[in-house]
């Protein structure tokens, strides 16, 4: 229950308890390669950055995010192509953009957008760098991000 976590954390703090939240992911070893991998970096301020990579073996790993998913990151296409589509309330789908290497997408997360307004799917073998909005926050209280007033 991600949406109710802040309330539960505050309640726990009032009782003198610390409460955290975590997310576990599993990258299934499939096929004979290229191989899946992961890198975990724990910073001294307690932030954790996890990067994983895998290639499709035909199991449907082509969807980057779906319309309605939570916004928490911006993506950068390092190689390949991505198609953005949006579906209306009546169920009609429209292609919003076809993006190539060098393009950013998902930037609504930077503007505080809570939910994705489109679906992003890879069209070819694609390498995407994912930058979480949290990773862009100033690491020390009282220091403004570049360009902030």
Asked if the peptide bond before residue 34 counts as cis, ω within 30 degrees of 0, the response is yes
Give the number of other Cβ atoms within 10 Å of residue 73's Cβ: 19
- Structure-token match 């390498």, residue found: 127
Residue 148 has pLDDT above 80, yes or no: no
- Structure-token match 């307690």, residue found: 46
Task: List, for residues 102-112, the tens digit of each pLDDT value.
Answer: 999 998 888 88
Segments in 62-149 forming alpha helices (H): none
Cα angle for residues 94, 95, 96 (degrees, 5° grid): 105
Task: List, for residues 42-91, the tens digit of each pLDDT value.
Answer: 888 877 877 766 555 554 458 888 899 888 889 999 998 999 999 988 88
User: DSSP secondary-structure letter at 143?
Assistant: -
| pLDDT at position 90 | 84
H/E stretch holding 10 reads helix 5-14
Give the number of other Cβ atoms within 10 Å of residue 86's Cβ: 15
| pLDDT at position 118 | 92
Mean pLDDT of 18-26: 78
Give the number of other Cβ atoms within 10 Å of residue 69's Cβ: 15
Give, rounded to a whole angstrom, the gap between the first and last alpha carbons of the chain: 34
Mean pLDDT of 18-42: 69
DSSP letters, 24-85, are -------SS-SPPEEEEEE-TTS-EEEEEE---SSSSTTEEE-TTPBP-EEEEEEESEEEEE
Model pTM score: 0.53
């Amino acid at each position: 229950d991600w949406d109710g976590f802040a309330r539960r954390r505050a309640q726990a703090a009032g009782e003198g308890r610390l409460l955290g939240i975590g997310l576990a992911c599993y990258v299934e070893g499939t096929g004979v390669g290229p191989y899946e991998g992961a890198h975990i970096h724990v910073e001294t301020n307690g932030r954790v950055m996890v990067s994983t990579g895998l290639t499709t073996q035909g199991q449907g790993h082509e969807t980057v995010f779906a319309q309605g998913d939570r916004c928490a990151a911006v993506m950068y296409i390092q190689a390949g192509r991505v198609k953005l589509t949006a579906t209306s309330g009546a169920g009609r789908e429209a292609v919003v953009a076809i993006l190539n290497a060098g393009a950013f997408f998902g930037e609504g997360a930077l503007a505080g957008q809570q939910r994705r307004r489109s679906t992003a799917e890879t069209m070819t073998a694609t390498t995407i760098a994912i930058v979480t909005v949290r990773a862009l926050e100033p690491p020390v209280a009282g220091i403004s991000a570049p360009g902030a007033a």
